Amino acid sequence: MTDKLFSPTSFGALTLSNRIVMSPMTRDRAGPGDVPTATMAEYYRQRATAGLIVTEGTQPCPEGKGYWRTPGIHSAEQVDGWGRVAEAVHAEGGLISMQLMHCGRAVVADNRGFKADVVAPSALPCPSLIPGPDGVPVTPSMPRALRTEELPAVAEQYAQAARNARAAGIDAVELHCSSGYLINTFLNPASNHREDEFGGSPENRARFPIMVVKAMAEAIGADRVGVRISPGNPYNGMDPSDPAPVFAALLDGIDGLGCAYLHVLDMQSPDFDTLQFVRRHWSGPIAVNNMLTLEKARTLLAGGQADAVSFGRAFIANPDLVARFQAGAPLAQASLEHYYVGEEKGYTDYPTYTAA
């Protein structure tokens, strides 16, 4: 019997050579101007045997930058930098989707290196601390509420970012709708106290996220647009209770577009069966993530709950994760201290299994 894990599958316009996806991971190593560096190109090249790489969260516009040294996709230099990343991944036969992450209110203004508004659905601060330029967690900046008439322009920033990603040769884009960033704060009642048609009912709270997905799909074709969700995730001050109504409104609002894939970070809550829920509201391909083991990944694929499986931390120390799974080789452990700092150290210096 063929092992489903290593069999090809389609995500919209993309044909993945296997079903192992590299989950998006912020690594805080962009160069001046938030431009991807040659070291970043090397990091992604090393991991290009994944069926699909999803990049670290990348800001679609200056207002979207919240963390230290995250890359952008809104300047010509950033597009050139990503072009070198895409070229490196394609040279190894891989595919790459760019995660568009607008941090919304999860912003430390000092991390930016330039001045830009901190924007959110409502003028409510992010309650968690966020690392500042020296890595020490500090209170995030106070956001201002986006005005109703500004929202189409913010959706257009995402659409332009998607066009820029394609101009750089990136194969697809993934909208970050989780973890208390801009899109998630519109969906969640703890951060969205709006009184216009973008706040209140679950349908209203899903309206702006749907507008953004549609704008991205119109810009580059829905078959190159993915969406990442994590229903019930409390990160950055989100109310985790009762995720079903608003995520049903979101998924029902975009399912007909024919998007490339849905990337689900499953919270594995005993009160809410996320995977059963998404299968009811999503007819396209699904990649499932969170704390998977090889065995669990195989079970999800065999049971039809997932079309692909996504690994984050395992890809940090195992650039050849796919080959290791194929060979049944042991996995190396990543050093936590280098998740967000270290240039090459803890980033591009992990050997492959055969080299080790």
Ligand X SMILES: Cc1cc2nc3c(=O)[nH]c(=O)nc-3n(C[C@H](O)[C@H](O)[C@H](O)COP(=O)(O)O)c2cc1C
- The correct pick among 9, 18, 23, 185 for binding ligand X (CB under 6 A) is 23
57 near ligand X, judged by CB under 6 A: yes
Binder among 158, 261, 282, 311 for ligand X (CB under 6 A):
311
**In angstroms, what is the C-alpha Rg of the chain?**
19
Residues 6+ apart with CB under 8 A from 4: 19, 298, 301, 302
Closest CA to 185 of 119, 131, 255, 263: 119
Instruction: Show contacts with ligand X in window 87-106 (CB under 6 A).
Output: 99, 101
Q: Does 313 bind ligand X (CB under 6 A)?
A: yes
Position among 38, 291, 302, 356 found at the interface with ligand X (CB under 6 A)? 291
Q: Which residue reads 């549609």 in tokens?
A: 214
Parallel/antiparallel/unpaired status of strands 119-120 and 96-100: unpaired
Q: Which C-beta is closer to ligand X: that of 137 or that of 152?
A: 137
Q: Determine, following the binding rule CB under 6 A, whether residue 317 of this chain makes contact with ligand X.
A: no
Residues designated as active site: 181
Contacts for 350 with CB less than 8 Å, ≥ 6 apart: 46, 316, 317, 318, 319, 332, 334
Quote the distance between the C-alpha of residue 211 and its chain's center. Answer: 18
Those residues whose C-beta lies under 8 Å from the C-beta of residue 348, and which sit 6 or more positions away, are: 39, 42, 43, 46
Q: Under the criterion CB under 6 A, does residue 185 sit at the interface with ligand X?
A: no
Is 84 among the residues that bind ligand X (CB under 6 A)?
no
Query: Which residue type does 178 have?
Result: S
**Structure tokens belonging to residue 147:** 């005005």
Q: Any idea what DSSP says for residue 142?
A: P
CB of 112 to ligand X, least distance (A): 17
Mark the segment that binds ligand X (CB under 6 A) among 17-25, 198-206, 254-262, 268-276: 17-25
Please tell me whether residue 111 binds ligand X under the rule CB under 6 A.
no
Local structure of 203: helix, strand or coil: helix
User: Which of 57, 81 has the CB closer to ligand X?
Assistant: 57
Q: Per-residue contact track with ligand X, 199 to 228, x per CB under 6 A?
A: -----------------------------x
Tell me which residue has tokens 């969640």.
188
Q: How far is the CB of 174 from ligand X (least distance, A)?
A: 8
Does 176 participate in binding ligand X (rule CB under 6 A)? yes
* Cβ-based nearer residue to ligand X, 56 or 171: 56
Q: What are the residues binding ligand X (CB under 6 A)?
A: 23-26, 56-57, 99, 101, 176, 178, 228, 265, 289-292, 311-314, 339
